[in-house]
């Protein structure tokens, strides 16, 4: 697996945990172990520029996902470029009141959300929203359970 993680901000983000979570999700989503994935923490100005360029929407947001090879879960997965995920810790902290999550927990949540977007999930309709968020909650619970086990030793 080619996994690139970068923090281009002044916020403290546990990239080692995010790497473990990304590897966990690639396995849980039945993706090829040799996929390429990039996860980058960026500042509000960078996020706003990407949000305008790619979504034609003003202002920053917490996360954007950029799928590449349209990879999907499979019992016979193929290698390829899964895509890029960018997360804005500054936006997450500013938006904390709405979600009530600490930065680390919210970034872990957003990573699951972003990964689902990379494999084709969306939430544009009520039906898509229900399906995506149910699966997201399931994956996040599995990750938390697995991560707690790894933290114990």
CATH number at residue 17: 3.40.390.30
64-111: per-residue pLDDT in tens? 999 999 899 988 898 999 999 999 999 999 988 787 889 999 999 999
Mean pLDDT of 24-36: 95
Is the confidence at residue 152, as pLDDT, over 80? no
Is the confidence at residue 143, as pLDDT, over 70? yes
Give the CA diameter of the chain.
Answer: 46
Can you tell me the distance from the alpha carbon of 16 to that of 148, in angstroms, rounded to the nearest whole number? 15
pLDDT at 99: 77
Asked whether the beta carbons of 88 and 50 are under 8 A apart, the reply is no
- Report which of 56, 10, 28 is spatially closest to residue 139, judged by C-alpha positions: 28
Q: Beta partners for 39?
A: 5, 85
Is the confidence at residue 55, as pLDDT, over 70? yes
Domain count, the chain: 1
Asked whether the beta carbons of 64 and 51 are under 8 A apart, the reply is yes
What domain range includes position 11? 2-152
pLDDT at 97: 76
Mean of pLDDT over the chain: 93
Tell me if the pTM is above 0.85.
yes
9-28: per-residue pLDDT in tens? 999 999 999 999 999 999 99
Can you tell me the distance from the alpha carbon of 140 to that of 137, in angstroms, rounded to the nearest whole number? 5
Mean pLDDT of 52-71: 95
């Amino acid at each position: 697996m080619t996994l690139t993680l970068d923090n281009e901000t002044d916020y403290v983000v546990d990239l080692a945990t995010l790497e473990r979570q990304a590897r966990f999700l690639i396995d849980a989503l039945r993706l090829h172990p040799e996929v390429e994935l990039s996860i980058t923490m960026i500042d509000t100005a960078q996020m706003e520029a990407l949000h305008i360029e790619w979504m034609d929407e003003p202002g920053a947001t917490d996360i954007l996902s950029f799928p590449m090879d349209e990879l999907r879960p499979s019992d016979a997965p193929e290698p390829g470029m899964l895509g890029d995920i960018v997360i804005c810790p500054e936006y997450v902290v500013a938006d904390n009141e709405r979600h009530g999550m600490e930065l680390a927990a919210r970034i872990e949540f957003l990573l699951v959300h972003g990964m689902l977007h990379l494999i084709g999930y969306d939430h544009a309709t009520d039906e898509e929203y229900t399906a995506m968020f149910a699966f997201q909650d399931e994956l996040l619970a599995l990750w938390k359970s697995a991560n707690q086990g790894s933290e114990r030793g």
